[in-house]
Amino acid sequence: MKIIISPAKKMIVDTDSLKAAGRPCFLDEAKRLLERIRELDFAQAKALWKCSDKLAKLNYERFAAMDPEHGATPAVLSYEGLQYQHLSPRVMTAESLRYIEEHVWILSGFYGALKPFDGVTPYRLEMGAGLEVDGCRNLYAFWGDKIYRAVTAGGDAVVNLASKEYARAVEAYIKPGDRLITVEFGEIMPGEGGRRVRQKGALAKMARGEMVRFMAENGITQPEGMKAFSQLGFWYKEEMSDESRMVFVR
């Protein structure tokens, strides 16, 4: 079983907590994106990133100085944000760390797909960014089915704990015989027979991190085992779930 999660916008360098143990599988593609971003002037880069002048300056300088061959921070430590705070890799046991390295893929607009201990350098490039490169109108077109092929290699079921923006890079290529299970966390909306769930962004991010941690701590290798998840007050809603959707409500 594989698990896909989203990255976070905020990134740090941390070479002290744990050591990187691999190289991104799509490093050549990341290098091409780096070349393309370096072709942009500051105003174009800021428009691409849709951020403040301060953040644009930081990331413009990061890309100017970046050497992707020498990413030293494990991806799972480099990303910050609610999901990663609740995943809490810095306090995981060695066994749980081995679990996430085996089962988790972090999807990325810049690196494509990362294993948790792949060495990375901080960047800013969301999957939904409208960057034209090599005749491709955006990053979805640039990556094509490469991310899908990476995470589905081996024919395992894929548990989708990513946001819609990132999951799209996999969902668009799902074939008959593939098993993609999307996990939803939210509140049941009134009406419509109680079949609609409203997800709140911050809470969903927290729950996704907690779910990955729960799976790692319990060594879960089949989707059935996820049903016991009860962190943050969530519980599995059987009647709202099916073969391709697992719903947790509170």
What's the pLDDT score for residue 71?
82
The SS3 of residue 113 is strand
pLDDT tens digits, 78-112: 999 999 999 999 999 999 999 999 999 999 999 99
The SS3 of residue 114 is strand
What's the pLDDT score for residue 221?
96
Q: Is the pTM of this model over 0.85?
A: yes
Which residues partner with 22 through β-bridges?
A: 118
Residues of the chain falling short of pLDDT 50? none
**Distance of CA 37 to CAs 31, 47, 72, 105, 248, Å?**
10, 12, 21, 24, 39
Structural domains in the chain (count): 1
What is the helix (H) or strand (E) element at residue 34, kind and residue range?
helix 27-38
What's the pLDDT score for residue 190?
74
pLDDT tens digits, 197-210: 888 899 999 999 99
Residue 88: give the domain boundaries.
Answer: 2-249
What's the pLDDT score for residue 193?
58
What's the pLDDT score for residue 195?
65
